[in-house]
Amino acid sequence: MNTRQLYYEDSHLRQFTAAVTACAETDRGWEVTLDATAFYPEGGGQACDLGILGTAAVLDVRERGEDILHLCDSPLAVGTEVTGIIDWDRRFDQMQQHSGEHILSGLIHGELGWHNVGFHVGAEFLEVDFDGPISWDRAMDLERRVNEAVWQDLPIRCWYPTAEELPAVGYRTKKALPWPVRVVEVPGFDKCACCGVHVKRTGEIGIVKIISVQKFHQGTRLQMLCGKRAYGYLAAVYRQNQQVSQAFSAKPLETAAAAARMNEALNAEKFRAGGLEKRVFACIAESYANRGDTLRFEPGLSSAGVRDLADAIAAVCGGTAAVFSGEDGAYQVCLVNKGGDVKALGTAMNKALNGRGGGKPGYFQGSVKAARGEIENFFAARWE
């Protein structure tokens, strides 16, 4: 590397000075190289650092060949000394996610034999893919033990084994690598070939939370959060639960049971309301016995209610029952004729009353966008 990689010498270096060795204008900005940098370039699933370099904002950092290119929003004079300041919140977040992922991947590899086959620090979640099945219960057990590793505040060691040492190190890797290999070790949990920058001790990871476990191709995709992200997420979930808890007057750890009871009660009420509705519909229908074609407006019905009332009236009126429910200008409608055909009527109604819907020969269900007067006129003209 032409650039001294200060981020490997000290992953907590937030500010540094370095000499500008080149500055080239491109269509995206100015590509600046330095003799040394603490800006980590994108790599190994970890996002690049952002920040300030001299008077310029750093928009992107990439490795190209032997150089580390800092994409800047303004030019820097070659040969001058500049101060670089890393966006530390962003970097520390990336390190918390990445180091937490290593411990989990090391545990899974050691116990289940699955390999980490994909790793991505997204804007919201950290996604890690493994090449074998992992159940939710297993994931929760692993999560607990990753957190135990965090509490132990173990030192994380990043080192380059000698060519003689390397074969015996026994590290995780996605592919065979030529010497020298950078190994990131969490003692007792993981050894992995990795080019990323990590926290110094596991305690800095803070907390690790697995959010979801999904089948993915032949294996498993885990969504997880570490550190500040995990805290923020769990705090938001707690706030949600607090509102649910207040709404149900239930203790925070009893909201699920309260929701289940509410569901049960709601279903029982629906059943009771359905029974009452049927009796009311029967009474209404009775008043139309043998009256022939019938138009009825009934407020406050569900679409099932509209259908049931039309059905009940059609059973006794001896003609077609047309039931509407809704507000003036927007109604649900059901047409029923027992043993007859309401298809032509439905089609004509759709056309005249800006409606939609359909059905089978003796049955039509849909909606119209028309005023009550228009509906009454439409049926009066057909049924006089």
Q: Does 194 help bind Zn ion (rule: CB under 5 A)?
A: yes
Q: With contacts defined by CB under 5 A, name the span among 127-135, 189-197, 300-308, 312-320 that binds Zn ion.
A: 189-197
Six-digit token pair at 218? 């032949």
Looking at the Cβ atoms of 194 and 213, the one nearer to Zn ion is 194
Beta strands in 65-166 (DSSP E): 67-72, 81-86, 116-121, 126-130, 157-159
Beta strands in the chain (DSSP E): 4-5, 15-25, 30-34, 36-37, 51-53, 56-64, 67-72, 81-86, 116-121, 126-130, 157-159, 183-186, 190-193, 208-216, 219-226, 294-297, 321-327, 330-336, 355-360, 363-368
Q: With contacts defined by CB under 5 A, name the span among 12-20, 188-196, 199-207, 325-333 that binds Zn ion.
A: 188-196
Looking at the Cβ atoms of 194 and 310, the one nearer to Zn ion is 194
Looking at the Cβ atoms of 196 and 326, the one nearer to Zn ion is 196
Q: Which residues pair with 61 in a beta bridge?
A: 70
Looking at the Cβ atoms of 198 and 209, the one nearer to Zn ion is 198
Q: Is 328 helix (H, G, I), strand (E, B) or coil?
A: coil
Chain residue whose CB lies nearest Zn ion: 194
Q: With contacts defined by CB under 5 A, name the span among 121-129, 196-204, 242-250, 266-274 that binds Zn ion.
A: 196-204
Is the bond preceding residue 180 a cis peptide, omega within 30 degrees?
Answer: yes
Q: Does 41 help bind Zn ion (rule: CB under 5 A)?
A: no
Q: Does 196 help bind Zn ion (rule: CB under 5 A)?
A: yes
**CA 127 – CA 108 distance, rounded (Å):** 15
Q: Does 103 help bind Zn ion (rule: CB under 5 A)?
A: no
Looking at the Cβ atoms of 197 and 323, the one nearer to Zn ion is 197
Looking at the Cβ atoms of 121 and 306, the one nearer to Zn ion is 121
- Taking the alpha carbons at both ends of the chain, their separation in whole angstroms is 93
Q: Which residues pair with 86 in a beta bridge?
A: 51
Smallest distance from Zn ion to CB 44, Å? 5
Looking at the Cβ atoms of 106 and 196, the one nearer to Zn ion is 196
**CA 151 – CA 219 distance, rounded (Å):** 29
Q: With contacts defined by CB under 5 A, name the span among 31-39, 73-81, 122-130, 187-195 that binds Zn ion.
A: 187-195
Q: With contacts defined by CB under 5 A, name the span among 19-27, 193-201, 202-210, 284-292 that binds Zn ion.
A: 193-201
Smallest distance from Zn ion to CB 149, Å? 16
Smallest distance from Zn ion to CB 101, Å? 7
**Per-position x/- string for 208-237, each x denoting binding to Zn ion as judged by CB under 5 A, each - no binding:** ------------------------------
**CA 274 – CA 281 distance, rounded (Å):** 10
Q: With contacts defined by CB under 5 A, name the span among 64-72, 86-94, 163-171, 191-199 that binds Zn ion.
A: 191-199
Binding residues with Zn ion: total (CB under 5 A): 2
CB atoms closer than 10 angstroms to residue 97: 29
Looking at the Cβ atoms of 194 and 207, the one nearer to Zn ion is 194
Smallest distance from Zn ion to CB 142, Å? 17
Q: What is the DSSP letter of 194?
A: -
**Among 358, 364, 356, 313, which residue's Cα sits nearest to residue 331?**
356
Smallest distance from Zn ion to CB 194, Å? 3
**CA 348 – CA 370 distance, rounded (Å):** 14
Looking at the Cβ atoms of 194 and 336, the one nearer to Zn ion is 194
**CA 296 – CA 309 distance, rounded (Å):** 9
Q: Is 48 helix (H, G, I), strand (E, B) or coil?
A: coil
Q: With contacts defined by CB under 5 A, name the span among 142-150, 195-203, 208-216, 308-316 that binds Zn ion.
A: 195-203
- For Zn ion, the binding residues (CB under 5 A) are 194, 196
